[in-house]
Structure 1
Amino acid sequence: MSAVTRFLRHNSLTLVFFTGFLLTLVGQAVAGHADFNNQLTTDGLHPVGFLDYLATSDFAVDVTENWQSEYLQFFLYIFGTVWLLQHGSPESKELHKAGVESDREQKVGEHAGPDSPRWAAAHGWRQRMYARSLGVVMATIFAWSWFAQSVTGVAAYNEEHLRQLQAPVSWSQYVASADFWDRTLQNWQSELLAVASMAILSVYLRQRGSPESKPVGAAHTSTGVEG
């Protein structure tokens, strides 16, 4: 097996989904550009070029509002599953393992192995930081994208208002507006529903060969068991 083939095989999950992300982002940009120009034409304004559209607040707010909801889902799921359980679900830890678990179970400090990450074997702040790094990074990306959504959202909102000869609003006014929370909550509710559905449906349904599913023959009561 060549080095390229080995790389593609070992990273196929990330590569396929990242490629899908880029393709759908391009598709969103093309569709959004057409819709944006339709709105401009309706308002009696000149349409803009594709590259000019990519620099608009309309495109930026549509992208960032999706990103922040996705990273909110991951952040809540990563932190929530430390303590929250679902009997019979492979998405949950075993019922007796709620909490941060012992150093021995987590293989940190003196329990780290020779192939453990260096900071897992460290002590003090480095181990504490690394032990929570995934959730912290997800929370940081969520906070950044939520703020970016609010900034680009108020710009897009004010541009639309100015085209209609209405007064612009401040950032704080926009964050408290129905438009902002309509954009935000419609994404949050879909993400939370998806997580809740996955947690409970995986108790009773199976997908052979998937690590997100229990083995086909596993009992419905089996918890924290992956296929």
Structure 2
Amino acid sequence: MLIRARENKREKGFSLLESLVAMLVGCLVCIAAMNTIPVLFKQLFQVFFQYQLDREVRQVLINIEKDFRRIGHCSQSLSKPRCEGKAITISAKFLSHQMNSCIIFAYDQDLSGSWVVGQEKTLHSDFFGFRLNNNKLESNRNVTSCDGTRWQSLFDPSIVKVNKLNFNWQPAVHMLETHINLESLLLPSKTFNYRSTVMLRNMP
């Protein structure tokens, strides 16, 4: 019994000071983690959102390019070798501060041998358009001017703000260039530029 008592006396635990120091270190680690984790999550969210935004913008540009490649197409016949009208017009919305921010174009989508201007409020038309309006990239069909109210935004206006849209048609080389500058309300102080160049093989 005496031997066991002596052995127990040799066993020592943490002193009060050591315990307080350990608790203090643990608290500092927790505070550092609490401050770092939200910042890390915010950075991860911004990276993921920027990837999604870039993917969406590029998909919209791909769809626009598909339409542009059809510009000027006309199903020719002996009686009507060429469609009547102007296949491409670049201007701007009325009172717009940016020149060349709207494009109206035509192609013979139903192979009728002509560029059809549909009746009002109908979707059957060979004329289409893209324009910049109040920081929105908008599209429409059955249009012959850059004005009007039936245009639809291609991006969510509450998330994407289009600062600049410019179309540059170079008939000598049959090249149509599109330049877009935009930003997102979820990514402050960041702007994104996109350029697209398409050869219009159907233009004379």
Length-normalised TM-score, structure 2: 0.25
Q: Which has the higher contact order (CA 8 A, sep 6+)?
A: 1
Higher share in helix: 1
Structure of greater Rg: 2
Higher share in strand: 2
Length-normalised TM-score, structure 1: 0.23
